[in-house]
Amino acid sequence: MRWRRPRARASDVAGVSRQPAFTILDLGTTYVKALVVTTNGERNEVWGVGRQRLRGLRRGHLADVAAAAMCCETALCQAEDMTLRTCGVSLVPDQAIIGLSGAVLLTHIVPVRVARPQPDERVRLEELHALIDRGLRAAQGLAEQVGPVELVQAEPLRIAVDEHRVSDVTRFRGRELAVDLYSAFIPQTQLLALARLRQRLSLDTVRIAAGPLALAASRRADGLLIDLGGETTDLTLVSRGRPVAIHHVLCGGLAVDRELAQRLSVTTSRAETIKLSYAAGRLDEHGSQDVGTICREEAALWLASLQPVLRRVGEEQTLPPTIWLCGGGSQLPEVLPACQQFPWMQRLPFAQYPQVQRLTPLDLPIMVDRTGGQLTPQDVPALALARSLAQTDPTVEHLSRTLTMTGKP
């Protein structure tokens, strides 16, 4: 295993404007993506990116920490080596954000409300904190139905006084205070595994973040986020940069690998290589036709697997006019056309035919690419995590809870 070099802090590097540096580690179900990012609090600059096929995970859950750590180390070294070329010095940050996919998270959006005994007085922050604590207890009770859990991240999505949405709650009076609270938990066994992963990677401070929440925060319009990963697909209904509903489907890009392996009589590893070569346009005409046919069939089956979940969501929420695709699986050439041509209004309760687009790194504001164009749509979830470094919403910040691991590894 290759070990990372001694750290060079961004504050010691000429040309990086003495900005603090962070590592972003996006743990998907198939690949790990690593970024090296500096931030001045208002915008982020990406200096390095690395990707590596993940081993040691089962549907997003850490099962073999040693194997997963080796893969993470490889991705981190790729990103850190790139910084030597992009900014002149190898940046190896000791602070990190580890993003978790929906596959491992137990997510709940809980509405809580309380009648105020003194409606003529302005709302106090103590009242709001007490209501959030009550919502967290309710959410934890739901999450613990599958066993002991630990809170990863909690954030108020909507705060209202007498049914009116407000930003600074302390400026208002009213009879009722209400909060829609997002919370994400992980099993305690996974928390212990993450702690061991931090030690093996020699990271001093690690913040654990919910990937779907970060992706939702990167959007300002209303829409449906579809993060197509290797083994799973995360569906997030977004309103004003906040998740309204989050669902998880056990179907992803690896289904294409398995079908290619069976139809072409090759190993799944070879099938993935063929798929990636096809996506990059490196196959001959005959090979492209065969692989393209299989990919179109699998894209149709993948869309069919989403319909039951979206139909249930549509019974409670209005399905939005925009669909955003992201994740490594979305780079397959057949995925975007399949989504654009799908009869959404005939099969699902959309009010209008949705516009479908694939998110690219350019679609994330306050992010500056210093890698020389090495970022791809596969990196969008990791970039969304990096974007949270420059989040400046004080209303949400002081009410949020985030799991942080500190201390020398």
Q: What is the CATH number of the domain that holds 135?
A: 3.30.1490
DSSP 358-401: E--GGGSTTEEE-SSS---GGGHHHHHHHHGGG---HHHHTT-E
Dihedral sign from CA coordinates of 63, 145, 103, 149: negative
Same domain, 311 and 267: yes
Q: Token pair for residue 24? A: 């972003």
Same domain, 175 and 321: no
DSSP 193-233: HHHHHHHHTT-SEEEEEEHHHHHHHT--S-EEEEEE-SS-E
CATH number, domain of 236, equals: 3.30.420.40
Residue 339 in any domain: the answer is yes
Residue 83 in any domain: the answer is yes
Same domain, 91 and 63: yes
Q: Which of 24, 5, 10, 15 is nearest to 383 (CA)?
A: 24
* Total domain count, the chain: 3
Q: Which of 274, 242, 276 is nearest to 260 (CA)?
A: 274
Same domain, 124 and 158: yes
Same domain, 262 and 198: no
Residue 4 in any domain: the answer is no
Same domain, 205 and 90: yes
| Eight-class DSSP state of 318 | P
Q: Which of 8, 65, 76, 17 is nearest to 43 (CA)?
A: 17
Same domain, 130 and 232: no
Distances in Å between the Cα of 249 and the Cα atoms of 64, 122, 142, 321 are 23, 44, 20, 21
Residue 178: φ, ψ to 5°? -135, 145
Using DSSP's 3-state secondary structure scheme, residue 194 falls into helix
How far is residue 344's CA from residue 322's CA, in Å, rounded to a whole number? 11
Burial of residue 96 (number of CB atoms within 10 Å: 0-12, 13-18, 19+): buried
Q: What's the confidence (pLDDT) of residue 409?
A: 58
Same domain, 55 and 194: yes
pLDDT tens sequence for the chain (409 residues):
345 545 444 444 445 546 789 999 999 989 999 999 998 877 889 999 999 999 998 877 899 999 999 999 999 999 999 999 998 888 889 889 999 998 899 999 999 999 999 999 999 999 999 999 999 999 999 999 989 999 999 999 899 999 999 988 889 999 999 999 999 999 999 999 999 999 999 998 899 999 999 999 889 889 999 999 888 999 999 988 889 888 989 899 899 999 999 999 999 999 999 998 998 888 888 888 989 999 999 999 999 999 999 999 988 888 999 999 998 899 899 999 999 999 999 999 998 999 999 999 989 877 889 999 999 989 999 999 998 876 655 555 667 888 888 866 5
Task: Using the 3D structure, point to which of 138, 164, 186 is the last residue of a domain.
Answer: 186
Using DSSP's 3-state secondary structure scheme, residue 16 falls into coil
What are the residue ranges of helices labelled H in 240-343? 254-264, 268-279, 285-316, 335-341
How far is residue 341's CA from residue 8's CA, in Å, rounded to a whole number? 50
Residue 374 in any domain: the answer is yes
Residue 36 in any domain: the answer is yes
Residue 2 in any domain: the answer is no
Residue 140 in any domain: the answer is yes
Same domain, 205 and 251: no
Q: Token pair for residue 305? A: 């697997």
Same domain, 179 and 286: no
Task: Using the 3D structure, point to which of 359, 381, 397 is the last residue of a domain.
Answer: 359
Q: What is the bridge-based pairing of β-strands 149-161 and 164-165?
A: antiparallel
Q: Token pair for residue 115? A: 């009648």
How far is residue 226's CA from residue 219's CA, in Å, rounded to a whole number? 13
Q: What's the confidence (pLDDT) of residue 408?
A: 62
Same domain, 158 and 207: no
Q: Token pair for residue 2? A: 């290759």
Residue 309 in any domain: the answer is yes
> What domain range includes position 91?
10-103+190-216+363-405
Same domain, 15 and 121: no
